[in-house]
A and B are shown apart, each in its own frame.
Chain A
Amino acid sequence: MNPEDALRRALHEEAGPLPPPRPEALGAIAAGAARRRLRRLSGLAATCTAVVAAIVFAGTRGGDGGPDTNVATRPAQPASTTTTMSAGATEEPDGPPELAVALSAKGRVVVLDGSTSRALRVLGQYPVEGGRMLRGISLTPDRRVVYFGYGGWSGACENAIYRAPVDGGRPPEKVVEGWSPKLSPDGRMLAYAAAGSRFGINGFLNACSNVLVVRDLATGAERAWLPSANDNYFSVGGISSITWAPDSKRLAFEFAYEETAVYLVESVDSGGRLEDLEPVPGDNDLFAPSWRPDGKIVVGSVCCQPEFDQPRKTFLVDPDARTAVPFTGADDFSFLDFDSTGRHELYVRGGEKGELFRRSDGGVPVFMARDFLEADW
């Protein structure tokens, strides 16, 4: 039997005898279609109501002559999963995000299928010798563009943030010198770590990521949080794992020097103060903060100086009440990210293997890939 016949026979035997059409199913199809149309109309009505409310609100604001202030809210996920007639459309309202982007330890910027973990494409390949590495990755809210950082130190800071379309349509382009980019949930601001030397702080040459910068993407205006001349601590350490609050008004980040701590910036728009987030009792190092959509921050913790030989723990921090409770989610992670619903976690397990996992609704972790540093979805 030739191979094509073998394929035909195997597939037809697997499918088995063809079932006859079931007349009663037509009624179920009609009812299902009616329900679907109703849902679509409900979604349309809700959208119209929201638009009318927004117009009325804008009208009342315009009437007092005051400035038009952007309300920082995370762009909503598609409210309805209206069926389109284009062949190839899928509908997965309860599943994890369709795609994730990740930085590999081998220098690749990879787009992964969020469900199957399959690598869809490589957006860039960067040499990782000589201390150079990828650091920081962030998707725009519309999930079409990814920002990532790459660089190191070879006598002087040589790091840069790049951006590239997720569909691979154009090669990455340089945006600014810096590292660890993170876009605000409203997509208006880019937070990143930069070298103090860029701002005239030349105390330590190897401090390539000791200044926090927030750039307004519409105007290009930047606000930087600079260490003072006497602040030895901030002069030599490094900022990473920047995470934004869901309202895009606050952010937190990891700062590593002799110890690792998590810092909080209140009122980013108005240049608020840096504060050490210390809700976890004991002499713990805190790392890899990740702000959840519900307003809580998940942080990793390792105890205690000087050996730090205790098992790593995870805490859920309330940044307003400054309290922390043990968190039973991803354990022993070096990086953690939540999707916009907070239901789906993406994390890299601590250790040398760089194992990337996803987890939904507190369920069983699903291994995605190895040799990864950070990811976003």
Chain B
Amino acid sequence: MSSAFGSTIGGIADADAPLTALYITHYPHLVGLARVLLRDHHAAEEVVQEAFIRVKASWRGMRDPHRSAAYLRSAVLNQARSRLRRCSVAAAHAAVPAAADRAVPAFGDPVERAVAADERANLLHHIRSLPDRQRDCVVLRYYLDLSEAEMAETLGISKGSVKTHLSRALAALAIRLEDKA
């Protein structure tokens, strides 16, 4: 893919065209991925930018540039996890935004919208409280729509492990949502 920004826009020369293409293709979804995990748009952008910096700094030493997308996703997941760890105490005491304060679809019955928003907040809360690997599998599968092979490459584990983590995650979510009900 050729750069949509021209050959030297932003200080990246033609030699970096593959990285520019990678940026254009993956930046929006990676920010979305980080935003799901961090609940903070600015933090999400920082995490994604840091991931691209790592890729750019290591581009020449990369054994398989075709794996760069998987590496980017992995870097975003690791950075997000690292941030969450550092902020775990603050996060534990942070008030969960009320359903009414969160984005809800601006159509349909207001009561149904509020209920839907509450259910969504509840579901997201349970996703975030899953063990790291299970949570990563859920967001990679259901947010990025990755295949099991792509998830395995991103997480550096086997496809069998991906299946195990995902099925455990779904089972745990089902139990927690039933308990809530």
Contact = CB atoms under 8 A, between A and B. Distances in A.
B70 A14 contact: no
Residue with the highest number of chain B CB atoms closer than 10 Å, among A21, A24, A83: A21
B156 A23 contact: no
B99 to A, nearest CB: 12
B47 to A, nearest CB: 12
Contacts of B36: 11, 14-15
B85 A19 contact: no
Given A21-B28, A87-B71, A15 B35 contact: yes
Identify whether the interface residues of B are mostly helix, strand, loop, or mixed.
helix
Contacts of A366: 88-89
A69 B145 CA distance: 60
Contacts of A79: none
A12 B138 CA distance: 12
Interface stretch (A29-37, A237-245, A315-323): A29-37
B66 interface: no
A4 B142 contact: yes
Interface in B91-121: 103, 105, 120
Residue with the highest number of chain A CB atoms closer than 10 Å, among B52, B53, B62, B123: B53
Interface string B53-90: 11011100111000100110010001001100110110
B20 interface: yes
A118 B134 CA distance: 14
B112 to A, nearest CB: 13
A281 interface: no
Interface string A103-130: 0000000000001101000000000000
Given A8-B143, A15-B36, A30 B24 contact: no
A3 interface: yes
Given A7-B138, A29-B23, A19 B74 contact: no
A26 B5 contact: yes
B138 A30 contact: no
B133 to A, nearest CB: 10
